[in-house]
Amino acid sequence: MRVVLGVSGGIAAYKACELLRLFTESGHEVRVVPTRDALRFVGEPTWAALSGNPVTTEVWENVHEVPHVRIGQNADLVIVAPATADVLAKAAQGLTGDLLTTTLLTARCPVVFAPAMHTEMWDHPATRANVATLRERGALVIDPASGRLTGADTGPGRLPDPEEIFEVCRRVLRGAPRDLAGRRVVVSAGGTREAIDPVRFIGNRSSGLQGYALARTAVARGAEVTLIAANVTLPDPAGAKIVRVESTEQLREAVLSAAEDADAVVMAAAVADFRPVTRATSKIKKTSGDPEAIRLTKNPDILAELGVRRTRAGNGAVIVGFAAETDDVLANGQAKLARKGCDLLVVNQVGEHLAFGTPDNAATILVAGGEPVEVPRGPKEDLADALWSLVAPRLA
């Protein structure tokens, strides 16, 4: 596919070199179009050598090829990474002045912006309005990651990892529908841990892969994603707001708070059903005689609570549960769907070598008041996409 990589003038331009490699190594033909300021961070020879293509910034070079129109017209995807506040403003206003901005006006293919800037610039009402305008017109603007910025500052504004930006682009190139545009979705992922003492916990085998796949696919479909991650060590998906939690109580608080203005909530996390009644404040020593039995108490059922709250508040969020079953998979799933009051329930069979920690999954999606949908074994992203395709038409 023909990809235009627009690079604007921010320090994160160096990360775009890695993004460029990911495109070329997977067989895409990449034309890099840096702004003048971008070339102050990374020089033209780097872009030319890595892309194997000529690099132009101005509309006045190779004029006989009419590059200011042709590059945009011929592209299958335009990705601008990093996108500065300035390039977002120009794109929103339809201003031109260099090859990147004319390309953005002439491109009719999907356009992805990966902004990177200081938090104050990202939060400024002017930038917010420009981002909203671009999104309304169909561009995919990936929210920046939070973390260390240039200098001593930290906050939202970091360019997400190139691998994760590439993943979004790959999905867009494969024709990901934009059916979650303007929607807020909440996804929980991973497995909760209940502390026994400061060093030990009761946990489960959930890796978070399925929840992260749900977040990734939702971003590519245009959603604003809050990913509530319980003890997950995977790379952060680009564009998702990540909230880290450990225990079920923390997960409950984070989910209920994020769910308040959400259009859909997907509980992919494996939640501990029980927690120790007390948590020892110091490490339990083996020398202190016979160990005391660990007494357990039930944890709140977050999914069931979401179902009850929805009924009470009358807000139309679509609620999705997961059911990990080892026996009587479908019968247990149907009973769970009814008991927890959710719209959809993804049922999969688990065991030591099934589902947990593997990149693949197979499942049956149970639909309240409808026919079940079988999803054959395949990448967890495929199951995620199948689920979003059922969620999207149910959104209010």
Q: Which residues are catalytic?
A: 204
From first CA to last CA, the distance across the chain in angstroms is 36
Q: Please, which of residues 4-63 interact with ligand CTP by CB under 6 A?
A: none
Q: Interface residues for ligand CTP in 314-353 (CB under 6 A)? A: 321-324, 336
Instruction: Name the nearest CA neighbour of 350 among 206, 211, 194.
Output: 206
Of 14, 238, 27, the residue nearest 112 (C-alpha): 238
**Nearest-angstrom CA–CA distance, 170 and 177:** 13
Selection from 267, 196, 197, 198 nearest residue 229 by Cα: 267
Q: Does 269 bind ligand CTP (CB under 6 A)?
A: yes
How far apart are CB 228 and ligand CTP at their closest, in Å? 11
Cβ closest to ligand CTP, residue 166 vs residue 322: 322
Nearest-10 Cα torsion for 203, 204, 206, 208: -10
* Distance of alpha carbon 374 from alpha carbon 316, whole angstroms: 25
Given its phi and psi angles, is residue 151 left (phi above 0), alpha (psi -120 to 50 degrees) or beta?
A: left
Q: How far is the CB of 115 from ligand CTP (least distance, A)?
A: 32
Contacts of 2 (CB under 8 A, 6+ apart): 28, 29, 31, 74, 75, 76, 77
Taking CB under 6 A as the criterion, the residue among 273, 367, 373, 395 binding ligand CTP is 273
- Residue 267 binds ligand CTP, judged by CB under 6 A: yes
Q: Does 271 bind ligand CTP (CB under 6 A)?
A: yes
Instruction: Provide the residue type at 17 as one letter.
Output: C
Shortest distance in whole angstroms from residue 102 CB to ligand CTP = 48
Q: Is 303 in the site for ligand CTP (CB under 6 A)?
A: yes
Q: Which is nearer to ligand CTP, 299 or 364 (CB)?
A: 299
Count of residues that bind ligand CTP according to CB under 6 A: 13
The region of 95-103, 220-228, 301-309, 386-394 touching ligand CTP under the rule CB under 6 A is 301-309
Q: Which is nearer to ligand CTP, 55 or 320 (CB)?
A: 320
Residue number, 17 or 271, with CB nearest to ligand CTP: 271
**85-93 vs 125-136: helix axis angle to the nearest 10?**
50
Q: Check residue 299 for interaction with ligand CTP (CB under 6 A).
A: yes
What are the strands, taking DSSP E only, across the chain?
Answer: 2-7, 29-34, 77-83, 111-115, 140-141, 145-148, 154-158, 184-190, 194-195, 201-202, 224-230, 240-245, 264-267, 274-276, 296-298, 318-325, 344-349, 360-367, 373-379
Q: Check: CB of residue 116 under 8 Å from CB of residue 83.
A: yes
CB of 211: closest distance to ligand CTP in angstroms? 9
Task: At 107, list the tokens.
Answer: 């491109």
Strand 274-276 to strand 111-115: parallel, antiparallel, or no bridges (unpaired)? unpaired
Please, what is the minimum distance in Å from the beta carbon of residue 1 to ligand CTP?
37
Tell me if 82 contacts ligand CTP by CB under 6 A. Answer: no
**Nearest distance in Å: CB 332, ligand CTP:** 6
Is 208 an interacting residue with respect to ligand CTP (CB under 6 A)?
no
**Span from 109-117, 156-164, 264-272, 311-319 in contact with ligand CTP (CB under 6 A):** 264-272
The residue among 188 and 217 lying less far from ligand CTP, judged by its C-beta, is 188
CB of residue 267 vs ligand CTP: minimum separation in angstroms?
A: 4
Copy the structure tokens of residue 319. 């609620």
- Measured from the CB atom, the residue of 315 and 332 that comes closer to ligand CTP is 332
Does residue number 302 form part of the binding site for ligand CTP (CB under 6 A)?
Answer: yes
Cα 260 to Cα 367: distance, rounded to the nearest angstrom? 23
252 touches 275 (CB < 8 A): no
Nearer to ligand CTP, 119 or 332 (CB): 332
Q: Which of 167, 194, 301, 381 is the binder for ligand CTP (CB under 6 A)?
A: 301
**Residue type for position 113:** F
Give me the 211-250 binding string for ligand CTP, x by CB under 6 A, dash otherwise: ----------------------------------------
Residues near ligand CTP (CB under 6 A)? 267, 269, 271, 273, 299, 301-303, 321-324, 336
